[in-house]
Amino acid sequence: MKFLAILAVVSSTLTFALGQVTTTREPTTVLPTTTRTPTTSVPASTVTPTLPTSTVTPTLPTSSIPTVTPTLPTLPTSSTPTVTPTLPTSSTSIPPTPTPTTPIVNTTVSYDTVYDNRAGSLSWVACSDGPNGLLTKGFTTFGSLPKFPLIGGGFPVAAWNSPNCGTCWELAYARNGTTTRINVLAIDVATNSFNIALAGLNQLTGGQGVQLGRVNVQARQVSASLCGL
């Protein structure tokens, strides 16, 4: 209660004091109005300041490490020349490969008229029957042989049923710079020579078989087809 009474006294005191302040204000002195000179307003600059652009390009420091370009080693040039084989150009056809030549034998040849008999039997000679015989091949007489009368005995046939039965031999006879050749079918034996039909020796010697009797020849084996077999 005392607190409320104190608040009432303070409130009354403040009200009274405020009322005294209001009634004792002094009159306000009116100052003459001063004519102010209008101030010219400077318009704000519309220029936007431009900062200078630097044209200086920064230079990076150059590396002090030298640039090394590798050099490849030069390979030595071979001293051996390259040879390209050149095949010869030919406008003609390539000739066939020659057949290897057979050995040439120097021998002699004589004649026997037995081989001139066309009806002579092959059973009379060494190359009669047997696996290598001419009867076995279907021939029967001298005249049945394809190149009759160019037949006779020869040193290649050593005995009956010789493996050289039916072989063909070229006989070359040279005289006065001229060489004549005939092909003779071996059907019989002969010692170190040839012994053929007189007709065959005449063909070889130009008809002088009887006069010459025996002549020197060079003999070599040739294909049996040249004798008709």
Q: What is the pTM (predicted TM-score) of this model?
A: 0.57
Give the tens place of pLDDT for each residue, 150-195: 999 999 999 999 999 999 999 999 999 999 999 999 999 999 999 9
Q: Would you state the pLDDT for residue 33?
A: 46
Confidence of residue 94 (pLDDT cuts 50, 70, 90): low
Residue 62 placed within a domain: no
Q: Is the pLDDT of residue 76 over 60?
A: no
Domain count, the chain: 1
Mean pLDDT of the chain: 77
Q: Would you state the pLDDT for residue 102?
A: 79
Residue 212 placed within a domain: yes
What does the angle CA 122 – CA 191 – CA 135 come to, to the nearest 5 degrees?
15
Q: Is the pLDDT of residue 62 over 80?
A: no
Closest CA to 178 of 206, 211, 150, 219: 206
Q: Would you state the pLDDT for residue 71?
A: 60
- Range of 168's domain? 105-227
Residue 92 placed within a domain: no
**What is the domain-level CATH number for residue 131?**
2.40.40.10
Token look-up 């004589």 returns 110
Residue 145 placed within a domain: yes
What is the rounded distance in angstroms from the CA atom of residue 225 to the CA atom of residue 172?
Answer: 18
- The kind and range of the H/E element at 185 are strand 178-189
